[in-house]
Amino acid sequence: MMVDVTFAVDGMVCEGCVASVQRALKSHDGVGSARASLEEANVQIAYDPSAVDLDTLAGAIQEAGFDVVS
């Protein structure tokens, strides 16, 4: 079952950043979709909690070079 979560993300300044965030998330098992928004400075993720947890998702964003604001 997919669950939706939205993270506020700091540091995205162009569509390349948006693509990087989305790619970093989609490379993880258990992520159904990831849609980042430059305007809203966030990313909406649909994920399977039995396959991946929130810390892992936040870590993927940080490893891509962006800050997750909680």
How far is C-alpha 58 from the chain's CA centre?
A: 7
Beta carbon nearer to Cu ion, 17 or 46:
17
The H-assigned helical ranges of 1-70 are: 15-26, 54-63
- Give SS3 for 33: strand
For the bound state, the minimum distance from the C-beta of residue 8 to Cu ion, rounded and expressed in Å, comes to 17
For the bound state, the minimum distance from the C-beta of residue 33 to Cu ion, rounded and expressed in Å, comes to 21
For the bound state, the minimum distance from the C-beta of residue 47 to Cu ion, rounded and expressed in Å, comes to 24
| Contact residues: Cu ion, CB under 5 A | 13-14, 16-17
Type of residue numbered 42: N
